[in-house]
Amino acid sequence: MVEKNEKLNEEPVPEESASEEAGLEQALAEEKKKSEEYLNSWKRTQADFINFKRRAEQDRLEFSKFACAGAFTAILPVLDDLQRAIAAIPPDVADKDWAKGVKLLEKKFLSTLEMQGVKPILALGLQFDPNFHEGIRQDKGPEGVVVQELQKGYTLNGKLLRASKVSVGTGEGEDEARKPG
């Protein structure tokens, strides 16, 4: 019997089983290809999800940075009024304790805003920048240069909160200003 089995093993494989084997190999190759496609798709989905999480975190941080913008915008007119009141203090009473207290209050107000990311925009004497300055009128002075600041502007964490309202030089009177007096 052992000899018969050995002879059976030595016999050539029938064509039917060879084509069946080829079909199985082809099916296996197709399944491997599908498997690779699924793996690649999964990797892309995982990368998309990681990117989504990163963007969501950035958006959350950005939102928290600027969530108080409305409150700061509402407070700025109060600061403007305080600064106008300080500017209107007559020189003969500027050394009184109450006047010094009001000036100290302004400094504290400004430092508190600065700690929250609110900073004043520099304008006077600089080139007009439409990103930070709102031109209200034109006056004599160097062309394109801010010659007067009518209302202070502010940024919040580097983004515009309120534009500076300014008067811009027309270039008229520039020659007179350069002549030695």
DSSP 38-100: HHHHHHHHHHHHHHHHHHHHHHHHHHHHHTTHHHHHHHHHHHHHHHHHHHTS-GGGTTSHHHH
Q: How far apart, in whole angstroms, are the C-alpha atoms of residue 6 and residue 173?
A: 116
pTM over 0.85: no
* Residue at 63: amino acid letter: F
For residue 174, count CB atoms less than 10 angstroms from its CB and return exposed for 0-12, middle for 13-18, buried for 19 or more.
middle
Length of the chain: 181
20-29, 70-79, 113-122, 128-137: lowest mean pLDDT where?
Answer: 20-29
Do 142 and 124 meet the contact criterion of CB atoms below 8 Å apart? Answer: no
Checking if the pLDDT of 176 tops 80, the result is no
Which DSSP string do the residues of 130-170 spell out, in sequence order?
TTTEEEEEEESSSTTBEEEEEE--EEETTEEEEPEEEEEE-
- Read off the pLDDT of residues 18-76 as tens digits, 9 standing for 90 and up: 788 888 888 889 999 999 998 999 999 999 989 988 998 888 887 777 778 888 999 99
For residue 168, count CB atoms less than 10 angstroms from its CB and return exposed for 0-12, middle for 13-18, buried for 19 or more.
buried
Q: Could you tell me what percent of the chain has a pLDDT over 70?
A: 87
Each domain of the chain, given as residue ranges in start order, spans 18-65, 68-116, 120-181
Q: What is the pLDDT of residue 165?
A: 95
Please identify, in words, the CATH class of the domain defined by 120-181: mainly beta
Checking if the pLDDT of 10 tops 60, the result is no
